[in-house]
Amino acid sequence: MKALVWQGVNEVAVSRVPDPQMRNEQDAIVRVRKTVTCGSDLHLLGGYIPFMQRGDVLGHEFLGEVVEVGPQVRRHKVGDRVVVCSFISCGRCWYCQQELFSLCDNGNTNPAITESAWGFASGGCYGYSHALGGFAGSHAEYIRVPYADQGAFTVPDGVSDERALFASDAAPTGWMGADLGGVKPGDVVAVWGAGAVGQMAARAATLLGAERVIVIDRLDNRLRMAQTHLGVETLNYQTQDVGGELLERSGGRGPDVCIEAVGMESHSSGPQFWYDQIKQQLRLESDRPIAARAAIYHCRKGGSVFLLGVYAGLVDKFPLGALMNKGLTLRGAQQHGHRYIPMLLERMARGELVTEHLATHTMSLDEAPRGYDMFKNKHDGCVRAVFEPAA
């Protein structure tokens, strides 16, 4: 079949790879209808997560049609239109029972790397390197879905492919940031990053009752999108004084909840950027935590900071003093999608959660290298490039 594969740092290509096969009785094979780029892929493309190998298929946010089910699959049958959670979780280990699905004990066939690096292994993820199980990604005609009863969700009839696609990754990730960040009615919430993840976090904060939601980025088209489609406030960190504005808009208190949706390739225009960029290139730190530092600094006393942005290893100049002395709660996680996807699909059906605007560019799988180039360099207002393998 055709698939988009990683060839080397900043090199991807469409090539022919073997079709996926059923490997477990709880597997399904899904014919991919739509599959989309994610900010997390950029960390793989750029080589910041050094566990990719030539030939690995990229992609983890997708929707499709079930074409084969194993004998132990109970909830799905051939023909079901499903959206699949980007994380692979068994649904039966202790972590899954606590609804911490991305921490599943049984989803990663290759736990040694993350266990050695982080102390314990996280779950598995499609198309996300050999550290997260080496599972083939979704930028392909077909994909194997392990634990299909747990990870695949039938899309309600009234919800279009275009909308449901984002219930795979961006929407549950954003929801988790607002939910586990503890957003309550009346809160002031600041979100760093106006990509699909940041936008979904902002929407979730609104739906959870936040009174003011402020999205921060430097890309005006994305900020305008957040204003128009989500009705939230915005700040451009290159042209506006973020600290002063956040104080003014929160009565001098600072935001109650700060959600970071930027990750380890965070950008800034100041000397801080060059400091982190140089240290990152010299391997003296693996990740640039610029937005995370800002979120901690601007958060109100006793407030909560949630890291949705992906980090892989070590950071430098981390403001532990602010964290400790302001009594902050800091959390982060890979998304626990299984916990939110059914609820998100219902909200999509009711029209409360709209995602189509994120798909700024739709193209065939053959054009995926161009799609990644646009997405990476944020050309032509690209927020998400969607690929259609059947087109």
Partner 1 sequence: MRGLIKAAAVAVVGMAVRRLVSPGGGDGRWQRGPLVRRHPRWHVVTVNRSTDDVVRGKRLPEPLAGLGEAVEIRFRRAAGDRGIELAVRLRDGDRSAVIAGIERLSGRDPDQAIRAALREAKQLLETGEVLHPDYPPTTESTAVNRPLQLATRQGRREGRL
Ligand X SMILES: NC(=O)c1ccc[n+]([C@@H]2O[C@H](COP(=O)([O-])OP(=O)(O)OC[C@H]3O[C@@H](n4cnc5c(N)ncnc54)[C@H](O)[C@@H]3O)[C@@H](O)[C@H]2O)c1
- With 0-12 / 13-18 / 19 or more C-beta atoms within 10 angstroms meaning exposed / middle / buried, residue 154 is middle
Q: Which residues of 189-209 are buried (b: 16+ CB within 10 A; e: fewer)?
A: bbbbbbbbbbbbbbbbbbebe
Whether 150 contacts 46, CB under 8 Å: no
Beta bridge partners of 233: 214
Q: Kindly state whether residue 99 participates in binding partner 1, applying the rule CB under 8 A.
A: no
| Percent helix, strand and coil across the chain, each to the nearest 5 | 35, 20, 45
- In the complex, least distance from residue 122 CB atom to partner 1, rounded to whole angstroms: 12
Residue 130 touches which of partner 1, ligand X, Zn ion, none (Cβ within 5-8 Å per kind): partner 1
DSSP classification of residue 239: T
Q: Which one of residues 84, 259, 308, 368 is an interface residue with ligand X (CB under 6 A)?
A: 308
Binders of ligand X among residues 146 to 175 (CB under 6 A) are 169, 173
Burial class for 302, CB neighbours closer than 10 Å (0-12, 13-18, 19+): exposed
The binding track of 268-307 with respect to partner 1, each residue x by CB under 8 A or -, is -------------x-x------------------------
Residue 105 binds partner 1, judged by CB under 8 A: yes
- How many helices, marked H, and strands, marked E, lie in the chain? 14, 17
Q: Which residues, numbered 163-182, are part of the site for Zn ion (CB under 5 A)?
A: 169
The CA distance from 29 to 39, in Å, is 25
Query: Which phi and psi (to 5°) does residue 363 adopt?
Result: -155, 175
Closest CB 70 distance from partner 1, rounded Å: 9
Footprint of ligand X on residues 327-386 (CB under 6 A)? Answer: 334-335
Structural tokens at position 81? 């239109």
Of 32, 36, 85, 90, the one binding partner 1 by CB under 8 A: 90
Q: Which does 47 bind (CB under 5 to 8 A by kind): partner 1, Zn ion, ligand X, none?
A: partner 1
195 binds, among partner 1, ligand X, Zn ion, none (CB under 5 to 8 A by kind): ligand X
How many CA atoms are closer than 13 Å to the CA of 207, on its beta-carbon side? 23
Amino acid present at 300: R
CB of 196 to ligand X, least distance (A): 5
Residues in region 118-147 near partner 1 by CB under 8 A: 119-121, 130, 133-136, 144, 146-147
Span 63-92, contacts to ligand X by CB under 6 A: none
Distance, CA of 217 to chain centre? 17
Residue 266 binds ligand X, judged by CB under 6 A: yes
State the residues that interact with partner 1 by CB under 8 A: 3, 5, 8-10, 17-18, 20-21, 23-26, 46-48, 50-51, 53-57, 72, 90, 92-94, 97, 105-107, 109-113, 115-116, 119-121, 130, 133-136, 144, 146-147, 281, 283
